[in-house]
Amino acid sequence: MVHDKILVADDEPSMREFLDIMLKKEGYQVSLASNGEEVVRLAERDLFDLILLDIRMPKLDGISVLKKVKAFSPETIVIMITAFASADTAIQAMREGAYDYITKPFKVDEIRLIIRNALEKKHLQKENVLLKEAVKERFRFGNIIGQSPKMQALYDLLEKVAPTKTNVLITGESGTGKELVAKAIHYNSPRKDKPFVTLNCGAIPEALIESELFGHMKGAFTDAIATKKGLFEVADEGTLFLDEISELPLLMQVKLLRVLQDREFKRVGGTEDIRVDVRIIAATNKDLEEAVKVHRTFREDLYYRLNVIEVKLPPLRERKEDIRLLAEHFMKKYSDELGKRITQIAPGALQALLEYDYPGNVRELQNIIERAVALESGEELSERNVISYLDRHSPIKKGWFDLELPSEGIDLERVVEEVERTLLLKALERTKGIKKKAAELLGINFRSMRYRLEKYGLNGGDDG
């Protein structure tokens, strides 16, 4: 049901009555005024969504009323009505903030449509403001939870980095919250009202990455049935977040470097140079410096372009003093979402959480708590529901690596490679040679799986 409030201001009783009946049938709440002073008085007492205002009014003319109303209620939509059309008057009314200008006699459908469109635009603007405020609130630095010294140092760095235009490289293990930090940087920067656009470099097929980043012209390739903007254009004046940047193919690294240097590019199949102002935030869970110097899979010049400021996210096992805070935050979040009244974590459950190493970091802790809350029937998060996950999912079981370090030492690189090769073979054996499933089992992406298999000469099996 519509609850918008409309004030009809006209000195003709018949016009007021007609508009009153028509608008009430549409479901609006309607108030009436017969002169300019009455309009101002009513608008000061109540907040109207829209005012239909006759331009020739006794006691105070319509333009004067418009100025006064806009001074104390700028969000109120004002539509001017007159029987005496004048281009000068219309221009003056629009300059003073009128939404539109209607000449009598008007068609009922015309004024109905203008009012509906004006109010829909107002609602969309309000929703957009509320959404932006909600996003800003969600990505405040304070929502990156932690009291440990490492997290305090991170907050200090983020507050210094956010207001700048500088490119940022976020490093850290999977699950440490790299995208959350990227969004926090964006939404606390001067670009906060502009787009935040994300591309996972490891999730897009190599043949499509260029089109995804730079767009394409119609007919540039077989499936290019229409011209399409790339993510650089979409993110203009905002931020482009390149997740898993280490997975970007070398050819695309060259093209990305050129855009970072020149701030312009061409769409695939295009001839026009497109200039953009985009801040780049890249993220990786790999050692990019090693990728540059040892594996030669990442360009050194691009690395230094991206790594102007590095933000290192500590793994959860290195800030265990934050585990209780995070666990309680997730407990409240999922208790509210699932309609439960869980108010505390059992001492045994908390102890188990503190002793676990979290190879999946904060994301894994979140998953543990969500599962435990879903299973819980009481008002306390029980040890049983937490332990049941940890016993089944702990990746390092006792006895796995009961290795002795010989007195003469070892070749660590060789040992690590042997362990990696063994686990690759075991994953392929379990998935009957299907590489994609084996990659999922090992927690790596498909491109990384192929690289490792080639490294050890294990190229058999099905890509599937």
What's the Rg (C-alpha) of the chain? 31
Estimate to the nearest angstrom the gap between the alpha carbon of 405 and the chain centroid: 47
Alpha helices in 178-287 (DSSP H): 178-187, 206-214, 231-234, 250-262
Per-residue pLDDT band for 86 (boundaries 50, 70, 90) equals: low
pLDDT for position 275: 94
Place of tokens 């108010």: 343
Decide if pLDDT at 130 tops 70: no
Q: Which fold has domain 318-393?
A: Helicase, Ruva Protein; domain 3 (1.10.8)
Rounded alpha-carbon distances, angstroms, from residue 5 to 127, 131, 378? 18, 23, 47
Q: Is 463 left (phi over 0), alpha (psi -120 to 50) or beta?
A: alpha
Task: State whether residue 73 is helix, strand or coil.
Answer: coil
Q: Which of 73-82, 103-112, 362-371 has the highest mean pLDDT?
A: 362-371
Return the pLDDT at 2: 45
pLDDT band at 87 (very low <50, low <70, confident <90, very high): low
Is the pTM value of this prediction over 0.75? Answer: no
The stretch 105-109 carries a mean pLDDT of 83
pLDDT of residue 436: 84
Alpha carbons 197 and 238: distance in angstroms, whole number? 8
Element (H, E) at 271: none
Residue 101 burial (CB count, 10 A): 20
Chain centroid to Cα 435, Å, comes to 31
Distance CA 127, CA 294 (A): 51
Is domain 412-455 annotated with CATH 3.30.70.260?
Answer: no
The confidence score (pLDDT) of residue 142 equals 55
Instruction: Reply yes or no on whether the pLDDT at 172 is more than 60.
Output: yes
Buried/exposed 353-392: b ≥16 CB within 10 Å, e otherwise = beebebbbbbebbbebbbbbbeebeeeebbbebbbebeee
User: Is 400's pLDDT higher than 70?
Assistant: no
Separation in Å, CA 44 to CA 37, 67, 118, 173, 183: 11, 13, 21, 57, 41
Is 141 or 310 the better-scoring residue by pLDDT? Answer: 310
Q: Between 3.10.20.90, 3.30.70.260, 3.90.550.10, 3.40.50.2300, what CATH number should domain 5-132 receive?
A: 3.40.50.2300
Above 70 in pLDDT, residue 380? yes
pLDDT band for 263, please (50, 70, 90 cuts).
Answer: very high
CB 349 within 8 A of CB 387: yes
Q: Where are the domains of the chain?
A: 5-132, 141-314, 318-393, 412-455
pLDDT single digits (tens) 15-67: 999 999 999 998 899 999 999 999 999 998 888 999 999 988 888 988 999 99
Per-residue model confidence (pLDDT) at position 84: 67
Q: Which has more pLDDT, 223 or 334? A: 334
C-alpha torsion sign, points 128, 129, 132, 133 = negative
Instruction: Choose between 391 and 372: higher pLDDT.
Output: 372
198-236 as b/e, with b when 16 or more CB fall inside 10 Å?
bbebbebeeeebbbbbbbbbeebeeebeeebebbbbebb
Same fold, 141-314 and 412-455: no
Predicted local confidence at residue 234, as pLDDT = 93
Tell whether the model's pLDDT for residue 398 goes beyond 50: no
Question: Does residue 438 contact residue 427 with C-beta atoms inside 8 Å?
Answer: yes
Average pLDDT, the chain: 87
214-248 pLDDT tens trace: 999 988 888 888 888 999 999 999 999 999 999 99
Tell the burial category of 43 from Cβ atoms under 10 Å away from its Cβ (0-12, 13-18, 19+): buried
Residue whose entry in the numeric block shows the structure tokens 């090992």: 442
Beta bridge partners of residue 102, listed in sequence order: 81
**Of 253, 247, 305, whose CA–CA distance to 278 is shortest?**
305
**Which one-letter DSSP state was computed for residue 217?**
-
CA dihedral 257, 282, 252, 173 (to 10 degrees): 140
| Phi-psi map region of 102: left, alpha, beta (phi>0 left; psi -120 to 50 alpha) | beta
Look at residue 93 in the predicted model and tell me its pLDDT: 83
Which of 28-32, 107-111, 132-136 is predicted least confidently?
Answer: 132-136
Residues in the chain: 464
Whole-angstrom distance, CA of residue 378 vs CA of residue 463: 46
More confident: 127 or 217: 217
Whether the pLDDT of residue 462 is over 90: the answer is: no
Percent of the chain with pLDDT over 90: 54
407, pLDDT greater than 80: no
CATH number of 141-314: 3.40.50.300
160 vs 445, residue with greater confidence: 160
Split at pLDDT 50, 70, 90, the class of 367 is very high
Contact 53, 33 (CB under 8 A): no
Separation CA 10–CA 43 (nearest Å): 15
pLDDT at 429 > cutoff 60: yes
In contact, 394 and 356? CB cutoff 8 Å: yes
pLDDT band at 403 (very low <50, low <70, confident <90, very high): low
Distance, in Å, from the CA atom of 197 to the CA atom of 232, rounded to the nearest integer, reads 9
pLDDT tops 80 at residue 140 = no
Task: Decide if 306 contacts 280 (C-beta within 8 A).
Answer: yes
> Is the confidence at residue 464, as pLDDT, over 80?
no
pLDDT band, residue 206 (cuts 50/70/90): confident
* CB-based burial, 259-277: b 16+ in 10 Å, e otherwise: beeeeebebbeeeeebebe
What are the Cα distances from residue 229, in Å, to 180, 198, 212, 251, 268?
26, 14, 8, 20, 10
With a cut of 70, say whether residue 395 has pLDDT above it: no
Q: How confident is the model at residue 292 (pLDDT cuts 50, 70, 90)?
A: very high
